[in-house]
Structure 1
Amino acid sequence: MRWVWLIPLLAAAPAQADMLVAARTLRAQTIVTGADLILRDGPDTGLSDPAQVIGQETRVTVYAGRPLRPGDIGPPAVVERNQIVPLVYDSTILRIETEARALARAGAGELIRVLNLSSRNPVTGRVQPDGSVLVEGMK
């Protein structure tokens, strides 16, 4: 009868795999290097390949010995909060360029909200590698 209770416990065990953990405490906005990482056995957190993490920026503080999760890292920021950035609206027949104020930090490829300085309206666009924000129209 005791074995019946043991079976659900064995089935619910987390999958074990290699996981990346922080070798030292990494403050938010730190660029991750190979020396910052250790590969250990443990529960599958989704990050096990150092190539996916090296060169990325921490979004939150990651304490030494803690596993890195996908939400903890992202591309390095090219736009800082309150920075004035070029805002580009692009459709098949029209292209408008103006200035906007960034409402958050973001890296290339990430969505960001900016305040259009001409109209004072907030818009959402994708950060380009050059630091501009692209709002795409209907194509």
Structure 2
Amino acid sequence: MCSRRIQAASAAIALLAAASNPAPAQEALAPSPKAVIYPGDVIREDMLTDLPQGGVHDAGGAFVEDRAMIVGKVARLTLLPGHAIPYAGVSNRKLVANGAEVKLVYAEGGLLIVTTGAALQDGSIGDVVRVRNSDSGVTVSGAVQPDGSVKVGGG
């Protein structure tokens, strides 16, 4: 009977100790480059490591908190190991380059017209860019599509 009381008392002491010393909260992680990433480099998963946000050398500001937000994007600034990655330091890849030949697509109802044009500015997915139609010389505007074509007018 005495050993049961000792066991119960020991269990109660262990519970009180656990309640008074809660486990430390898991610190949030932030992506940081493993090595220097230069402007124009496409950011890949294997180029990043996760560091505790408190261990990243940059305090304050708008910094990327999740690597999924930047993988596949392009570095706009030099990104250094051990430092947080600012949102302004990355951008979407340019699918349309100034001066490049692009496919112009007009689709409405059952009508589909496809021609080519010369891009007059760079653009990423969803950007509205100006393009000079190669056949007519007319400048049109359209949205850059995921395949690099430019959709003009229509629905």
- TM norm structure 2: 0.60
Aligned residues: 121
Determine if the alignment matches structure 1 residue 50 to structure 2 residue 61. Answer: no
Aligned to 1:62: 78
Q: Does the Cα contact within 8 Å between 1:19 and 1:45 map onto a contact in 2?
A: no
1:125 matches 2:142:
yes
**Alignment of structure 1 residues 15-94 onto 2, 5 Å:** 19-38=30-49, 39=51, 40-41=53-54, 42-58=59-75, 60-64=76-80, 67-92=84-109, 94=111
* Structure richer in helix, relative to its length: 2
Residue number among 108, 115, 128 corresponding to 1:98 in the alignment:
115
Change (3 A) 1:92 1:72: farther
Larger deviation: 105-114 or 95-104?
A: 105-114
Letter in 2 for 1:62: T
CA distance in 2, matches of 1:125, 1:79: 12
> 1:107 Cα shift?
3.4
Closer/same/farther in 2, CA of residues 94 and 34 from structure 1, 3 Å limit: closer
* Partner SS for 1:106: coil
Unpaired segments of 5 or more residues in structure 1?
Answer: 1-16
Q: CA deviation at 1:46?
A: 4.6
Give the whole-Å Cα distance in 2 for the aligned partners of 1:62 and 1:113: 30
**Once superposed, what is the RMSD of the aligned Cα atoms?**
2.8
Structure-2 separation of matches of 1:117 and 1:18: 50
Contact kept in structure 2, 1:20 and 1:47, CA below 8 Å: yes
Contact 2:63 2:84 in 1 (8 A): no
Q: What runs of 5+ residues in structure 2 fail to find an aligned partner? A: 1-27
**SS of the residue aligned with 2:105?**
strand
- Show CA shifts across 1:39-85 (max 9, x none): 43332515210111112222x22242554333432333333332111
Deviation at 1:101, TM superposition (A): 0.9
Identity of aligned residues (%): 26
TM-score in terms of structure 1 length: 0.65
